[in-house]
Amino acid sequence: MKLRRWSLGTRQPSLRLLIIALIVVVFLPFVGSALFVIVRLSDAEHETRETQNLGIARAFSSEVDRQLLSAEAALRALATSPQLAGGDLAAFYQQSTAVADQHGARIVLADAAGHQVFNTIFPFGTPLPESAQASLVQTTSATQHTHISDLFVGSSSGESLVGVYVPVVEAGSVRYILVMAFRPERLSRFFAEQHVPDDWTIAIVDRNGTLIGRNRALDRFLGKPVTADLKATMDAAREGLAILHTKDGMEVYTAFTRSAFSGWTVAFGIPRAIVEAPLRHSLVEVGIAGVVVVMLCGSIALLTARRISRSMTTLSAAALALGNGGQLPQLTPSVK
């Protein structure tokens, strides 16, 4: 009796191919699961890093506020001076000079209209022009509250300065305004003391969007406006996180917070390439490991398929011989 051959209309895949595909398909979910876990861990790490970055921005902002509050406290102490109350301005000038030296600043005594009475960087009695921030002096007088200036150019020295304005109130009215003005470089010394990494960018921005402090290259950026996207981000929220661009086009993860005391904003940024480097490295490592394992599994599947194929060939030959009435050959399959 002879076996009749038959065939399907389409070509069927070989057993070897099916076994290889089965092993690879079974293994692929493990590779996908590993990638999923890595991405989720990276997202969690990214969220943690963002929280840390915002905390760093807040810490730097608090340090800037501390310096301004220290200046305010010194001026409030001077405002209680008996020499000032008694009208002995020469003696009060000497007191103010000592305090100004302690703070690395200059102290200005101005009347409520904004005219300078004295400035500690000049000898007492030197004729002085009207304060460069006469409008802020008048606002301080009208509100009887401390005010912090934005960056301005001193009318007497021509230097870029920031200042703390404190009213001297007597009998319910403002008699004088005390101003402690200092160069903005003083605000950035804290960054150098903390030895922040070179790839960090920390900036102090006044209410006009002008740079008044930076952890590096301040001489290049002092008085320059911040980038348009940072300005828009600061105008939209008091604090937050965003992916922004530096002036040279580099993408940076940026955390920023605005001080309720001064109105200034501290922005802290790290290049995006540095932040995302660990994820890229992990994905590359998983990808390489996945390719190696797939190749290894494919090789094992190929060897296994060959053994099964040889056994099936032996069985097919025996079945064909049996069907043709021939002598059954010795069966030595490679698979039990």
pLDDT single digits (tens) 196-218: 777 888 899 999 999 999 888 88
The pLDDT score that the predictor gives to residue 11 is: 67
Q: Return the higher-pLDDT residue of 74 and 332.
A: 74
The pLDDT score that the predictor gives to residue 74 is: 95
Q: Return the higher-pLDDT residue of 217 and 266.
A: 266
pLDDT in tens, 83-100: 998 999 999 999 999 999
The pLDDT score that the predictor gives to residue 300 is: 73
Mean local confidence (pLDDT), 109-114: 90
Asked if residue 3 has pLDDT above 50, the reply is no
Stretch among 50-64, 157-171, 294-308 having the lowest mean pLDDT: 294-308
The pLDDT score that the predictor gives to residue 46 is: 65
The pLDDT score that the predictor gives to residue 278 is: 64
- Per-residue confidence at 193, pLDDT binned at 50, 70, 90? confident
Q: Is the dihedral of CA 301, 303, 304, 307 positive or negative?
A: positive
The pLDDT score that the predictor gives to residue 6 is: 46
| CATH class for the region spanning 69-183 | alpha beta
Average pLDDT value for the chain: 82
Q: Return the higher-pLDDT residue of 123 and 321.
A: 123
The pLDDT score that the predictor gives to residue 1 is: 43
Asked if residue 118 has pLDDT above 90, the reply is yes
Give the distance between the most distant pair of CA atoms in the chain.
Answer: 135
Mean local confidence (pLDDT), 28-53: 69
Percent of the chain with pLDDT over 70: 77
Mean local confidence (pLDDT), 9-36: 68
Mean local confidence (pLDDT), 273-294: 67
The pLDDT score that the predictor gives to residue 198 is: 77
Asked if residue 136 has pLDDT above 50, the reply is yes
Asked if residue 251 has pLDDT above 70, the reply is yes
Range picked from 8-17, 156-165, 276-285, 327-336 for highest mean pLDDT: 156-165
The pLDDT score that the predictor gives to residue 333 is: 62
